[in-house]
Amino acid sequence: MLPIVGSLAWPALAPADTQLTRTEATRMFAAATERTHQFSEGMGDHLLYVYFDPNCIYCHLLYERIQPYIRTGRVQVVWIPVGFLKSDSPGKAEAILSARNPAMALSLNEREFNTSDEEGGIRPLRHPAAAIVRAVYENTRLLEVLGEVATPTLVFADRQGVIHIVPGMPRRLGPVIDMLGPLPPLS
């Protein structure tokens, strides 16, 4: 059994002293993931949720490697911006999330990514709206609750409906894409 401690993300889901199995905790995290502040890219037959930090080099690599799967309609990616790697990460996540077209803002961040300094290319917002600041904070806090503060973190249901949480960049993306179950979403 895994103890779920009280946090911003979980109170509505379970009391602070609730004991959950790993499967129950995973399902709860997946259900909470569906309610994050997010945007999607692609119109694929399979759904993949990705927590990302705009300054994460591995998120950048994932972004580049997943584009062919998005373009060919194999996957729809739901991007969930978080901000913790660098001091300007929250501001960059806020800039992406608040953009008129967040997928285009993410594309700009990745096109202009500085791999030497591991810096996303979008400029952080100087004065973001309070709702956007809270949204990025809540996304980041949910990832912390998982106990794996790693980006990228992939969340998906496989063909049998089993929920998977994959912290970090998979060595090979193809097998992960092949595991994805069909739409609808996680819960």
Q: Which domains does the chain have, with CATH numbers?
A: 2-176 (3.40.30.10)
Percentage of the chain beyond pLDDT 90 is 63
Q: Which of 13-27, 102-116, 137-151 has the lowest mean pLDDT?
A: 13-27
Find all residues with CB under 8 Å of 113, minimum gap 6, and list them. Answer: 60, 119, 120, 121
Each residue of 40-71: pLDDT tens digit? 999 988 999 999 999 999 999 999 999 999 99
**Does the reported pTM lie above 0.75?**
yes
d(CA 46, CA 88): 32
Residue 187: per-residue pLDDT: 57
Residue 94: per-residue pLDDT: 98
Mean pLDDT across the chain:
85
Residue 21: per-residue pLDDT: 63
Q: Is residue 66 a contact partner of residue 173, using CB atoms and an 8 Å limit?
A: yes
State which amino acid sits at residue 171.
R
d(CA 111, CA 105): 10
Each residue of 133-169: pLDDT tens digit? 999 999 999 888 877 689 999 988 888 888 888 899 9
